[in-house]
Structure formats: C-alpha cells, structure tokens
Amino acid sequence: MKKKLLSLFICITMLTSAMLTGCGGQNGEETGEGSDAVENEQRDPMTLSLWVPTESGTTDEAIKLVESEINILTQAKYKTAIELHAIPADRYADAVDSRVKEIRDNIEAEERAKDEAHRQAVENAIKGLEPVEEIKDDEDTALETAVDEFGQSITLYPDVSSQQLDIFLIKGYDAYKKYVDDKLLEELTGDLNNVGSKLTSYIHPSFFNVQDYDDGRYCVPNNHTIGKYQLLLVNKDLAEQYSYSSSELTTLLDCRDFIKDIGEQGLDGVVPLLGNCDPANVVYFSSDGQKSLIGQKIMPDVTAYDDLKPLSVLTHISGYEDTISMMKEMRSLGYMGDGNPDGKTFAVGVVEGDASLYDKYEDDYYISVHAAPVTEREDVFESVFAVSSFTKDVSRSMEIITYLNTDQTLRTLFQYGVEGVHWELDDTGEEPVLRRLNRDYMMNITDTGNTFITYPEEGVPMSAWDKYKAQNIDSLENPYIGLTFETADNKTQLKRLADTSRDMFARIDAMSYEEFQSSRSSINGEVMRGTGIVMSLISDVGSDSISDTIGTAFKMYYDSYLK
C-alpha cells in the first residue's frame, strides 16, 4: 500500500513540476543566450517576425522578394531569418492589434488544454489508469538541414510560432503608451547597452534623452530630421543700399530700425516686414500646448536648474515683451505683410521650414536662425521599433533593429526593395542616385529605420542629407519634453493658469501699440501680484520644502531626468 501511495505521489509531483516549468520561453528566456556576442556557427537558427506599414501600390510578390533578400543578409550575419509582414498603412495598427489578440487567445486555449490534461492525468493516476500524454509548450524546432540542388547542406529555419510577435513599428506616443500599459513591450535598456550600443553613434542623442514612459525604455526611435527652423531673412540688396551690414541684423529686434527705414521709403513692391513673428524659442508650461504666462526660453548647452525652471514669460524672458511691442508697432505703421513669402520681395521676414530653406533664400537674403529646430515628443515617437513581449528572443530582435539602423545595404533594401528589380543605381552624374524601375514596393522612409543611411528619395544623392544632419546638430531639446504636466495635486492650478493666460493674452492681442506701451508695467504688476497666479505657481520651484504646485511637477521631473 505504501509503495502504491509513493508511486502516486511521485506521478503527481512530476506532472505538477512539468506544468510549472514548461511555460518558459515566451520572452526569449529559454535560449540561454545573453547579449554577449555569439559565434554564428554556435547558434541555433531562429525566425523572427517583422511588422511594418507599407504604402499604396506595394504588391505581395514584392514583399516576398524583399523578405527573401533580407534573409540572405540576416541569416549569414546572425543565423536569423525574418518573416516580413508589410501591411497597408491604413490597416496596420488594426493588424498588429489583431495579431496580439490572436496570440493571447492561443495562449489561453493552450493553458486551458494543459489544465484539463493535468486534471485528467491526476485523476487517472488516482484511479490507477494509464497516464495521459503530457501537453508541452512550443519548443524550438531541432536543428534541421537539407540538401540543395547542388548537393550542398543547407540549414532549415523554423516557422514563426502561433504565439510569436517579435519586432514591430509603432507610430506616435499615444500608441506607444498604450502598448506599454498593456504590457506588450519588452524593456530594452540592457540590450541597448549591449547588442544595441552601436545605435548611439547613429541616432541623434535627443531621441535617447527622452525619459521613456513608465520608468523604462521600450523602443528604438528611427533617426530622422528634427523639427523646423524659423529663419530670419534680411534682404541683401536693401541692406547694402541703406548702409546696413549683415552683422548688425542678426536678430529680429536688431532689424527694427532697418524695417522702419524701408517702410518710410514706401518702395513699390517691397514689404518692410513679411509678417507677424513670435518670440523665438519659447516653450510654454501648458498641458494643452497653448500659450501660457509661464514658460522658458530654450538655449543650447544649458543644463543648470535656474536656466530651465518655469518662469514668467512676460517679466523674466528677455525680449518677449519687446517682440510683442515691435510687432504692434510695425502693424500700426502699415509695414507688416501677410506672412506669405511666395512671389514677394521683403526687407525682413521670418520663414519656417527645414534646412532646404537655405538653398532657396541664400542668394538674396542674409540668413540667421530666429528659432532653432526643437525636439518634441512627437519627433521622438513619430516612428519607433519595439520588441513585443511575445518575442522569441529579445537580444536577437535587438540585433535586427540595430542592423536596420546601421547598415546601408539592408537599410536600402528594406526601404526601396531589391536592386535590379525595384530600383537601380544611376552613377552617370556627379554623385550616384537611385532610380526606381517600378512602384511595386513603396515604403515611408521614416518607418523603415535610420533615414540618413539610405538615399533620401529617387534621384537625390546621399549628400543631400548633409544639410539635414546639420539641422539636427542645430536642434534644441524642449526642456519639458518628458514632463507630465497635469497631476492630481496641480490639476486645479493648471486650469487656473490656462484660464488666466488665455484672458491675459486676449487682452494684449486687442491692445494697440500705444495701449500696450502704456500698459506694460501694470500688466507685469497684475501678472506677478494682482492675480497672484504666476508667483504662486513658480515661487516654490527649486525650494527644499516645495508645496503641491505646478512647481512640484517640474522639480520631480528635473531631479529624475534633467539633473
């Protein structure tokens, strides 16, 4: 009797142990491969899925052909195959969500089957019946080889499992946040410091400086052009004609007398000031992106706390009120145009756009930077690659992401398709350019990796990126880029700030130049003392005994990120 009970105990224990230990591997932990470099010959073959949106016109045949060519590269380098899922952009997000649901349904069904098998096994053991066959988790397919038509041994790669989603593209911060909240993404800090360490040499640091959501880093941003310039243009011919040097006219406020001189001349067909201009590089402390009485002026190489904390824009930011005053003066004198530069000759103007503006205006205008490009959260999360929590292997997924962002051959293949089939290289000019042979494979260049290591577009040489790389070097980082403005403690105050700011700026906008000039001191007094809103919200910033104000949010943000 004791032997029978002992046998029964051993049987149940073994079944239970199998159930508890058999579920490893969903997150890539079962391979035993860390992020240390592994010789390709020592690796097991692995297949990873790669999900990206594609544009109109892309054919299934082209996708399969690109997948095949990608695999030639990734199998040789990493012994990793890629199953490419290129989904039309308008259906892409739904397709990823559908795949996630399918995987979760498969996992739940498998768990139910395993539970039932376990229950039946225990019941049979108690009754002394034959044990049922154990249901096991998906296991890696054993290394298999085949012989090709030339008699050479080739490695066979396993299929992607029914519970596998590896690398996929995410568009926008809201989608990224949702996937993190749903526990769908792997945390990548360790792999970025190891297999992905090369990425820091290829991706602008601002993309990595952003404090990621939920105290973790769950994505790799695709490197691309940051923001827009606001360029100050000063007419070369008019400046010379009226004896102004370029060195005198490098800021908008410097140009006040020059604009008035041109305006007084009444030159036919010449607009003295192209249009209204906002104060340069000011960011507002605002949860809705609207103008606020609190903000900061972004400057390069500023990291000290006092140079980043929120301030009163009217009283503490140099040139803010003076710019408002100058705009009102030029409008009152009739010297301001509608802001549209097309087909106009103007003495001074501020235009917005990317680095190509230099080529457009440098012959006729002196150019200074009125406002540098600013890295915003939307830039960082425009197109990011992430590794799903259902991946077969995190580190090997990171290898592929790193490869896409650092290797020109793979990058060009992924973006433009197969050379000789979808495109060819034209080297008859001063620089080689890419020419499309058809439009069977069309991708958005920011969705397929580091933009700067492949051709900008058909007919454009690689050197065209130089001005955009310089634009990124010129860019500044919004000091509030990772800040969650609204908290439970400051929600009421933040609304009060928004309401007060809206009312104050509406009053200022309605004032004439003369009214504004005569009201500047009283406006400042009202902002700082009368309403009390600005002082009450920024006075505690930086103090040791900070109260629950808007300043609290920034103090916590500074300590955890900016500091």
Structure confidence by residue, pLDDT tens digits, 296-336: 888 776 666 666 777 888 888 889 999 999 999 999 999 99
**Euclidean distance between CA atoms 216 and 197, whole angstroms:** 17
- Please compute, for residue 251, the number of CA atoms within 13 A of its CA located in the half-sphere on the CB side: 12
Query: Is the confidence at residue 540, as pLDDT, over 70?
Result: no
Smallest CA-to-CA distance from 503 within 513, 495, 493, 514 is with 495
Question: What number is the average pLDDT over the span 210-230?
Answer: 86
Kindly report each contact of residues 472-476 with a partner whose C-beta sits within 8 Å and lies 24 or more positions away, as own/partner: 472/204, 472/225, 472/226, 472/373, 474/229, 474/369, 474/372, 474/373, 475/204, 475/206, 475/226, 475/227, 475/372, 475/373, 475/374, 475/375, 476/281, 476/298, 476/299, 476/300, 476/372, 476/373, 476/374, 476/375
Q: What is the pLDDT of residues 92-114, one digit of tens each?
A: 999 999 999 999 999 888 888 88
Angle between helices 491-510 and 550-557 (to 10 degrees): 110
CB proximity list for 72: less than 8 A, separation 6 or greater:
none
**Res 315: pLDDT:** 83
**Res 132: pLDDT:** 59
Sign of CA dihedral 375, 466, 51, 208: negative
**Euclidean distance between CA atoms 58 and 86, whole angstroms:** 9
**Euclidean distance between CA atoms 46 and 52, whole angstroms:** 20
**Euclidean distance between CA atoms 273 and 344, whole angstroms:** 11
Instruction: Read off the DSSP letter of residue 51.
Output: E
Please name the residue that has the structure tokens 């005053």: 325
Sign of CA dihedral 541, 543, 544, 546: negative
| Alpha helices (H) along 242-368 | 256-265, 313-316, 320-332, 356-361
Query: Is the confidence at residue 6, as pLDDT, over 70?
Result: no
Cα–Cα distances in angstroms (integers) from residue 50 to residues 63, 208, 385, in the given order: 12, 22, 10
Domains of the chain: 2-28+35-224+385-398 (3.40.190)
End-to-end Cα separation, the chain, in angstroms: 71
Query: Is the confidence at residue 87, as pLDDT, over 90?
Result: yes
Smallest CA-to-CA distance from 213 within 192, 191, 183 is with 183
**Euclidean distance between CA atoms 471 and 484, whole angstroms:** 27
Confidence label for 171 from pLDDT (cuts 50, 70 and 90): very high
Q: What is the pLDDT of residues 419-472, one digit of tens each?
A: 999 999 999 999 999 999 999 999 999 999 999 999 999 999 999 999 999 999
Query: Is the confidence at residue 539, as pLDDT, over 70?
Result: no
**Res 532: pLDDT:** 52
**What's the mean per-residue pLDDT of the chain?**
85
Instruction: Read off the DSSP letter of residue 387.
Output: E
**What percentage of the chain carries pLDDT values higher than 70?**
81
Q: Which two tokens stand for residue 128?
A: 């002394």
Are the beta carbons of 27 and 394 closer than 8 angstroms?
A: yes
